[in-house]
A and B are shown apart, each in its own frame.
Chain A
């Protein structure tokens, strides 16, 4: 059967933060770029603050069409399997970056050399990166100005080296709770930090400033302030004339030539017809799980076990975000009216973080210094329907009538819940990886990814140490009830690894330039390359690395 063929210089699979920089830079340099995106093209005019969009997973893949098989520890030393759609972040141009909160912390120098800084941990596959922080620093700076990062640098013991004194965009407006936080953290001897966000605080190119609707995070941004790959890069790249984004295009196989190099990508269009895109360079960036899946699914004579899998490295060393969450509940009925009014304000951001324990040097807790983490103090996106639904039952009893009304009213008006999130390394290990499932297929008939999520006990100890600090801060702020939990469950977003980069093909999937070992023209630019995730959300680093790889590709075009 003959299939339609398209030709271009560079084909990018995925339009999120890994794919956007490649499309932007290569097309700006005059190369013809085609981006394949499984979802549709939606923009600021589509993003209403409608809770139903999220409740119905409108811009995300559907379980009945695409699944993952999740294999997780059952508590008895074995793994149990279930089917899930939770790993789909965004089925839309720009990917999950449309729905990110955009906490844009840089990694720190020690994240690039975990092994040599902290030493080995039994059962964890820790390595040093093939590049250093200094190699990536110029690209963090580039993202800050081009993609748009707002914030304010405050000197502190764990501040990473910077080539510029401050962020190019001033901090976003702050909620009054930030001042409560600063006071409490300072009283405890900690270093309160304003948190940088990938949200512009003033007009930037065609994007408007944040308008402070208070509906951020999982809601798409209506002003264009949030630095989604589409708003920040692809709108501009497409307008330039050399970049085409093909929507509703499901890539399912990378073809290779006799030398084992990538020659084309096959995708299904929205009608289910197969189309081939021939390109000189092919770049994969469709989230860590799916990028591994695509390489494993692309078998040929030169790559019988999947592209680049000659040493069984494809899909290995996947990692999630370890850590935990905590809450400080303030009883509004005990507060004077002016303080209550302060806490009820919606719109501005909390935007505070603590990184005092990015390295933990506390002999009472750990024998030697260990890598720690970050605490972000944040607001959840408003979800009044979901919140009210949770009030329907009390101790298993269905509430109705006046009891129900009182329960809902009390939840919304008599207390205020402030939250923190702890981010630590999820140590890569032999039990956390991606493979092809042998029984499940997606709606196109392709085997789905099986995601195994074994975790290392060390992660829990580190997370507990830091969660306890967060609870301490909440109590100092005056919370009437403060608590926190650590988690061994995988995050459905923020996963990375699976195709880590390195200099040795026997222990890594990509080379230092994120090119698949054993090929000369196939690259991976999403979070798959990361040997460890750092103790922050990885999006900023994925953006920066994709710009770095774009430069590497330009050198060989």
Chain B
């Protein structure tokens, strides 16, 4: 009989039920903040953003979740959650969160944007409000760089971008926003390549991790059972 991983309870929010030999991650670490009052108030203030970043406050069209296309070997999309501009912004942020620093894959190498688009079609992630939160955070970051330097984040050099991210991480809401982006980045690094990240197992190879077999295939992904 399995015995679950008891150490998990060190992270548990409420229950201390022992679990051995199993890692069911419930996402508490990344999600509790969304409901936090500090984050909520900061999010509310985002609605007062300047006109040039209005696009970051638009509600996400959640009907796009039905546009997922699994006809190929990996997921692909007929329409995206994020706009082209948001893709560029996200890419620039992600390349600082997981840079091309000479050791292992960068965020681009992991195909993180494709993975993120797939993740944003997940009903649970949608229900958690993640698409809106990510978009509004982009608006907040660009508002911040505009106020200080009159530029969007994407137009700054890497060193300056890092300074802004370091300052962003000092606020609860900013840190939570970066935390949720790294959450999806780590999924892109470590989940099966079928889901769009971890291209050719580049993440697993870097970590010397041997993936399991058989791997998920069309019609047998985790979403096909829910």
Q: Which residues from chain A sit less than 8 Å from chain B, CB to CB?
A: 42, 45-46, 48-59, 70, 72, 82-84, 86-87, 96-97, 99-103, 211, 213-215, 217-219, 222, 320-321, 324-325, 344, 346-347, 376, 378, 380-390, 392-393, 398, 400-402, 404-406, 408-409, 412-413, 421, 423, 485, 487, 489-494, 537-540
CA A400 to CA B27, docked complex, whole Å: 18
Given A82-B15, A401-B99, A409-B103, check contact A214 B210 (CB 8 Å).
yes
User: Which B201-215 residues sit within 8 Å CB-CB of chain A?
Assistant: 204, 206-215
Chain B residue at smallest Cβ distance from A542: B1
Chain A residue at smallest Cβ distance from B5: A380
Given A53-B225, A58-B226, A84-B15, check contact A492 B4 (CB 8 Å).
yes
B113 CB, nearest partner CB in chain A, Å: 17
For chain B, the bracket of interface size reads 35 or more
Q: B222, A52: Cβ atoms under 8 Å?
A: yes
Q: A346, B175: Cβ atoms under 8 Å?
A: no
CA A426 to CA B163, docked complex, whole Å: 54
Q: B16, A48: Cβ atoms under 8 Å?
A: no
A318 CB, nearest partner CB in chain B, Å: 13
CA A382 to CA B208, docked complex, whole Å: 13
User: Is B217's beta carbon under 8 Å from chain A?
Assistant: yes
Q: Which B residues are in CB contact (< 8 Å) with A215?
A: 212-213
Chain A residue at smallest Cβ distance from B183: A389
User: Which B1-60 residues sit within 8 Å CB-CB of chain A?
Assistant: 1-7, 9, 11, 14-27, 29
B221 CB, nearest partner CB in chain A, Å: 7
Q: A70, B15: Cβ atoms under 8 Å?
A: yes
Given A48-B212, A392-B182, A493-B4, 14 more A-B residue pairs with CB atoms under 8 Å apart are A214-B212, A376-B3, A381-B23, A382-B212, A384-B204, A387-B190, A400-B97, A400-B98, A400-B178, A402-B99, A413-B208, A489-B16, A489-B17, A491-B19
B57 CB, nearest partner CB in chain A, Å: 25
User: Which B138-187 residues sit within 8 Å CB-CB of chain A?
Assistant: 162, 165, 169, 175, 178-179, 182-183, 186-187
Q: B215, A50: Cβ atoms under 8 Å?
A: yes
Q: Which A residues are in CB contact (< 8 Å) with B116?
A: none
Given A53-B222, A99-B22, A392-B186, check contact A84 B17 (CB 8 Å).
yes
Q: A389, B25: Cβ atoms under 8 Å?
A: yes
> How many A-B pairs with Cβ below 8 Å?
231
CA A316 to CA B70, docked complex, whole Å: 51
Q: A50, B19: Cβ atoms under 8 Å?
A: no
CA A384 to CA B186, docked complex, whole Å: 9
Chain A residue at smallest Cβ distance from B27: A55
CA A376 to CA B2, docked complex, whole Å: 12
B99 CB, nearest partner CB in chain A, Å: 6
Choice from B6, B208, B215 contacting A325 with Cβ under 8 Å: B6
Top 10 closest A-B pairs, CB basis? A49-B212, A215-B212, A383-B23, A539-B1, A52-B222, A412-B207, A218-B22, A537-B1, A384-B190, A489-B18
Q: Which A residues are in CB contact (< 8 Å) with B104?
A: 405, 409
Q: A404, B182: Cβ atoms under 8 Å?
A: yes
A499 CB, nearest partner CB in chain B, Å: 19
User: Which B72-87 residues sit within 8 Å CB-CB of chain A?
Assistant: none
Chain A residue at smallest Cβ distance from B105: A405
Q: A406, B96: Cβ atoms under 8 Å?
A: no
CA A17 to CA B20, docked complex, whole Å: 19
Q: B221, A101: Cβ atoms under 8 Å?
A: no
User: Is B71's beta carbon under 8 Å from chain A?
Assistant: no
CA A462 to CA B214, docked complex, whole Å: 41
Q: Which residues from chain B sit less than 8 Å from chain A, CB to CB?
A: 1-7, 9, 11, 14-27, 29, 96-99, 101, 103-104, 124, 162, 165, 169, 175, 178-179, 182-183, 186-187, 189-192, 195, 204, 206-217, 220-222, 225-226
Q: A400, B96: Cβ atoms under 8 Å?
A: yes
B38 CB, nearest partner CB in chain A, Å: 15
Q: Which A residues are in CB contact (< 8 Å) with B226?
A: 56, 58
Q: A344, B208: Cβ atoms under 8 Å?
A: yes
Q: Which B residues are in CB contact (< 8 Å) with A537?
A: 1, 3
CA A392 to CA B183, docked complex, whole Å: 8
Q: A398, B182: Cβ atoms under 8 Å?
A: yes
Choice from A100, A347, A386 contacting B23 with Cβ under 8 Å: A386
A47 CB, nearest partner CB in chain B, Å: 8
Q: B222, A58: Cβ atoms under 8 Å?
A: yes
Given A392-B186, A401-B97, A404-B182, check contact A86 B19 (CB 8 Å).
yes
Q: Which B residues are in CB contact (< 8 Å) with A423?
A: 3
Chain A residue at smallest Cβ distance from B187: A385
Q: A48, B99: Cβ atoms under 8 Å?
A: no
Given A388-B190, A398-B179, check contact A408 B101 (CB 8 Å).
no
Q: A398, B169: Cβ atoms under 8 Å?
A: yes
Q: A217, B21: Cβ atoms under 8 Å?
A: yes
Choice from A45, A386, A421, A492 contacting B220 with Cβ under 8 Å: A45
CA A404 to CA B97, docked complex, whole Å: 8
Q: A50, B17: Cβ atoms under 8 Å?
A: no
Q: Which A residues are in CB contact (< 8 Å) with B195?
A: 52
Q: Which B residues are in CB contact (< 8 Å) with A218?
A: 2, 4, 21-24
A37 CB, nearest partner CB in chain B, Å: 16
Q: Which B residues are in CB contact (< 8 Å) with A540?
A: 1
CA A388 to CA B209, docked complex, whole Å: 12
Given A409-B207, A538-B1, check contact A492 B23 (CB 8 Å).
no
